[in-house]
């Protein structure tokens, strides 16, 4: 049977197979990149920036405090389920939740920042959407203690808003019982969107 590989052919001829194999060449390239002639990583411009997790916890907490949104001058809270068209979508720098990305980053930053963000949160939504929001973001009793301070519920009188239907307030009562909810208001939808009240 004829040999099918280069190494088998060399063995038949009596020559030793080559010691330089493909993995060795790849490793040689890696060693050249990180060997004694490699560029100094401390002098490269990418390593001059500060990584958040490398900072001491006290400084990270200070950064988190600066990142919290200020809702003091808002009459109506930002709607949690508002989905604008692409034409009217705002830049992230112009949105009210400017630091929302910190709640979606790595696990350690989420654990450190999310309770601060939730405690400072001021939200507005239709009542039927508030209960799923609480179940999603505050599923346990420990997280209910870190819930939002203020919630506004929109209502539309007589416009398909389940007139006369009973509503389950259990999630709001639980939120209040654990001590995080300071204010709950019902606001008319027409005023929120800028329409004048009917006389």
Question: What sections of the chain are H helices per DSSP?
Answer: 6-13, 22-34, 57-67, 107-120, 127-137, 141-144, 170-177, 189-192
Q: Which residue has the tokens 């006389």?
A: 199
In a domain, 145, yes or no: yes
Token pair of 57 as six digits: 């916890």
Given this model, what pLDDT does residue 37 score?
62
Given this model, what pLDDT does residue 28 score?
62
Whole-number Å distance between alpha carbons of 41 and 47? 7
In a domain, 92, yes or no: yes
Closest CA to 151 of 133, 178, 170, 164: 133
In a domain, 173, yes or no: yes
Mean pLDDT per block of 10 residues along the chain (199 residues) reads 70 64 59 60 57 86 84 70 58 68 81 84 79 81 80 68 67 79 77 61
Count of structural domains within the chain: 1
Whole-number Å distance between alpha carbons of 119 and 103? 13
In a domain, 128, yes or no: yes
Whole-number Å distance between alpha carbons of 28 and 30? 5
Given this model, what pLDDT does residue 96 score?
67
In a domain, 14, yes or no: no
Q: Which residue has the tokens 């809270």?
A: 77
Given this model, what pLDDT does residue 120 score?
82
In a domain, 114, yes or no: yes
Given this model, what pLDDT does residue 127 score?
74
What SS3 string covers 147-199? CCCEEEEEECCCCCCCCCCCCCCHHHHHHHHCCCCCEEEEEEHHHHCCCCCCC
Q: Which residues, 6+ apart, have CB-to-CB distance to 152 below 8 Å? A: 76, 77, 122, 123, 124, 125, 184, 185, 186, 187
The SS3 of residue 122 is strand
In a domain, 137, yes or no: yes
Q: Which domain holds residue 185?
A: 55-192
Whole-number Å distance between alpha carbons of 173 and 181? 9
In a domain, 17, yes or no: no
């Amino acid at each position: 049977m004829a040999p099918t590989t280069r190494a088998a052919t060399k063995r038949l001829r009596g020559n030793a197979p080559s010691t330089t194999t493909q993995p060795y060449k790849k490793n040689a390239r890696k060693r050249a990149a990180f060997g004694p002639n490699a560029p100094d990583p401390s002098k490269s411009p990418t390593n001059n920036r500060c990584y958040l997790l490398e900072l001491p916890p006290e400084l990270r907490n200070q950064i988190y405090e600066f990142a919290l949104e200020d809702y003091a001058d808002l009459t109506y809270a930002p709607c949690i389920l508002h989905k604008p068209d692409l034409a009217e979508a705002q830049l992230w720098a112009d949105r009210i939740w400017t630091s929302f990305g910190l709640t979606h980053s790595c696990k350690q930053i989420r654990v450190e920042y999310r309770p601060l963000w939730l405690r400072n949160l001021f939200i507005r939504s239709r009542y039927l959407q508030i209960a799923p929001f609480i179940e999603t973001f505050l599923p346990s009793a420990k997280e209910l203690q870190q819930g939002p301070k203020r919630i506004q519920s929109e209502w539309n009188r007589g416009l398909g808003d389940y007139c006369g239907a009973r509503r389950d307030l259990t999630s709001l009562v639980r939120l209040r019982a654990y001590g995080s909810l300071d204010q709950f208001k019902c606001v008319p939808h027409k005023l929120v969107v800028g329409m004048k009240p009917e006389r």
